[in-house]
Amino acid sequence: MKKAIEAAHRVQQNAYAPYSRFPVGAAVVGESGRVYPGANVENAAYPLSRCAEQIAVGGMVAAGERKIRAVVVVTPTSPPATPCGACRQVLAEFADPDTPVICRNPEGEERRYRLGELLPEAFRLKTP
Ligand code: THU
């Protein structure tokens, strides 16, 4: 977990957030133990901006993994912010409800959650 925490802190510094000035770093740990970092990438056309967590999940999927074992998110606020609703749903696609979500800030303040408490009753597609 130490590796993922370090990666999330490190990648926060690469966030491209000139509009919100709210840099976010994320790291997801895959089943293999590999750590996939992501930072938010904003756009002058604001709705095209991407959250750090979604970039991290994209990296994991692109590398061929399908299961998230842990999530770390670093935001500039105190207390540390939790993932937005959209990111919770994206994480739920690849993670179980008991998956740890560790929220931190650069000062090292930390709050720990389980994905299922952040997004109870996540949407799952059931086709007839
Ligand atoms: N942001 C994330 O990267 N992850 C979240 O879970 C919440 C918000 C980003 C989006 C935007 O670039 C900035 O933080 C302010 O909303």
Ligand 1 pocket, mutate which of 11, 20, 71 (most atoms under 8 A from CB): 20
User: Could you tell me if residue 86 is inside a domain?
Assistant: yes
Q: How confident is the model at residue 28 (pLDDT cuts 50, 70, 90)?
A: very high
Q: Which residues line ligand 1 (CB under 6 A)?
A: 17, 20, 22, 24, 40, 42, 49, 51-53, 83-84, 87
Question: Residue 82's domain is classified under what CATH number?
Answer: 3.40.140.10
State the total domains in the chain. Answer: 1
As a whole number of angstroms, the distance between CA 18 and CA 30 comes to 30
Q: How confident is the model at residue 120 (pLDDT cuts 50, 70, 90)?
A: very high
Print the domain residue range for 99: 2-118
Ligand 1, atom 13, lies closest to the CA of 22
User: Could you tell me if residue 124 is inside a domain?
Assistant: no
Q: What is the DSSP string of the chain?
A: -HHHHHHHHHHHTT-B-TTT----EEEEEETTS-EEEEE-B--SSGGG-B-HHHHHHHHHHHTT---EEEEEEE-SSSSPPPPPHHHHHHHHTTS-TT-EEEEE-TT--EEEEEHHHHSTT-------
Its pTM stands at: 0.96
> Which atom from ligand 1 is nearest to the alpha carbon of 42?
12
User: Could you tell me if residue 35 is inside a domain?
Assistant: yes
109 an active-site residue?
A: no
For residue 51, how far is its CA from the centre of ligand 1 (angstroms)?
5
User: Could you tell me if residue 95 is inside a domain?
Assistant: yes
For residue 119, how far is its CA from the centre of ligand 1 (angstroms)?
17
On the question of pLDDT at 19 being above 90, the answer is: yes
From the candidates 53, 65, 107, 117, which is the catalytic residue? Answer: 53
Q: How confident is the model at residue 85 (pLDDT cuts 50, 70, 90)?
A: very high
